[in-house]
Amino acid sequence: MLNYIKERLYKNPLQVELNKIEKIENKITKERLSYKPTNSNFNIPEKVSDTLKKAFNTAFDTVFNKGTGIIEKTYNKSEKEKDFLIRDFIFDNNPNKKEIKKLKAKNINNIALSTAEGVGLGLLGIGLPDIILFTGMILKGVYEISMKYGIDYNLPKERMFILKILQASMQKGEEFINIDNQINDVIKNDFIINDEDIKNQIIKTSNVFADEMLIMKFIQGLPIIGVIGGLSNPIYYNKIISFVDLKYRKRYLYKKLNH
């Protein structure tokens, strides 16, 4: 009887897909653990590092509190919510390989905000103007993925989930395992947070983003101003959004399998 149950579980398309996701996660973990820091090769001024960290900190805080409404003007939120309800109903009634494949289809995300959107976010201003545009662009992609899986990104606990995933998308070494375990905990269990938790997480996420951008700045020999909107932009955008989609898909499938 036990073997029969195991066999049925293994053949469950939801579990099969979750197994595939786990393999991808294991590969990512190996890559992050094999990472060898290069920033020690550069003499990065502490003042420059602190400035960038503060800029990202302010950017995340500002976009969450003032920029979400502006970002929502770039897509039809109501239409996306209706699309999810339809897809979710179909998935519940027939969660086969074909539907899972549709679920895995990449969102059509803009690699950069349009000029009009950029002006709208730019009006919020944080000192280094390209950082708020980059942060807004990333959060726009995250919000669209969130809606794809039926999640309300405006809830405080969802903001925490987003911030943790974004930190993990850039994190390297043993720190990656720690934050990734936290994310997987959130996927499997409900959680309660407060405003102070979010503020602390914004700092952690901001610091990781700033460190990564500084390394890219020195590797490419680019100035701080413009590095976010330069060669690194599409590279980081795709890297981050792919990781975000993987975790949201895992969360969606896990919920379907266990409820």
The whole-angstrom distance between residue 208's C-alpha and the CA centroid of its chain comes to 13
The whole-angstrom distance between residue 25's C-alpha and the CA centroid of its chain comes to 14
pLDDT value at 191 more than 90: no
The identity of residue 99, as a single letter, is E
Average pLDDT over residues 230-259: 84
From the list 172, 175, 124, 145, the residue with the least C-alpha distance to 248 is 145
Phi, psi of 27 (to 5 degrees): -65, -45
- Per-residue pLDDT band for 204 (boundaries 50, 70, 90) equals very high
pLDDT attached to residue 214 = 75
182, two tokens: 């936290």
pLDDT digits (tens, 9 = 90+) for 92-135: 998 888 888 888 765 544 444 433 344 344 444 444 567 888 88
- Positive or negative, the CA dihedral 222, 226, 231, 235 is positive
Round to whole Å and give the CA distance between 164 and 186. Answer: 10
Round to whole Å and give the CA distance between 78 and 103. Answer: 19
pLDDT digits (tens, 9 = 90+) for 40-81: 555 667 887 888 888 889 989 988 888 888 889 888 999 999
pLDDT value at 143 more than 90: yes
Determine the length of the chain: 259
Average pLDDT over residues 211-220: 66
The identity of residue 83, as a single letter, is D
pLDDT attached to residue 136 = 87
Round to whole Å and give the CA distance between 156 and 12. Answer: 33
For 207-216, b/e burial (b = at least 16 CB within 10 A) is bbbbbbbbbb
From the list 202, 220, 218, the residue with the least C-alpha distance to 135 is 202
Residue in the structure block whose two tokens are 């309800």:
85
Collapsing DSSP to helix, strand or coil, 139 comes out as helix
Stretch among 96-100, 130-134, 139-143, 180-184 having the lowest mean pLDDT: 130-134
pLDDT attached to residue 104 = 75
User: How is 220-249 classified by DSSP, letter by letter?
Assistant: HT--STTTTTTTHHHHHHHHHHHHHHHHHH
239, two tokens: 């890297």
Please check whether residue 67 is in contact with residue 143, taking contact to mean a CB–CB distance below 8 angstroms.
no
Residue in the structure block whose two tokens are 């499938």:
253
